[in-house]
Amino acid sequence: MTRRRPSVRPRRLFAVVAVVVAGLAAAALASTRAERRAADRPALALRATPSVGFAPAEILFVGELKGGADDYREFYCTSVEWDWDDDTRSEETYDCEPYEAGKSEIRRRFSKRHEFQLAGAYEVRLHLKNKNDIVTSARTRVEIRGGAEF
């Protein structure tokens, strides 16, 4: 009678399963970290008041960072660029202290008035920039109608 040796396949299968499980656990952990970072990231919203006007019209634009961490590093000490969609732009930069985690606070509100001279539909964009890189943007539309002529 021939005696069969135990197969080594179960050990290999166990090793493969262990590697797969470890990989899935690492992916889940990375996903959780990414979700946490995304939850800490503020969202930029932009609104115009009024959103419809008669030329020439002065419109107030307000951008707000909502939610997220107050010390979100990527948004700390950003410059602000307004693209008015009428072939003009405005930019603002700020002097800031060096960033300190848990202490430095991001600026959450950005406002600017702009006068539109001509009738048309304009898509105004607000960009927050870190050096030359846009870190977040928001946009809104305004409609400027032709003014009354006398």
Domain ranges of the chain: 6-40, 43-145
- Region 25-53: mean pLDDT is 76
pLDDT, residue 39, reads: 72
Q: By CB neighbour count within 10 A (0-12 exposed, 13-18 middle, 19+ buried), where does 76 fall?
A: buried
This prediction's pTM:
0.73
The tens digit of pLDDT for each residue in 12-21 reads: 666 666 666 6
Tokens encoding 111: 């406002």
Q: Which of 25-34, 76-85, 131-140 has the lowest mean pLDDT?
A: 25-34
The tens digit of pLDDT for each residue in 74-93 reads: 999 999 999 999 999 999 99
- CATH architecture label of 43-145: Sandwich (2.60)
Tokens encoding 84: 């008015």
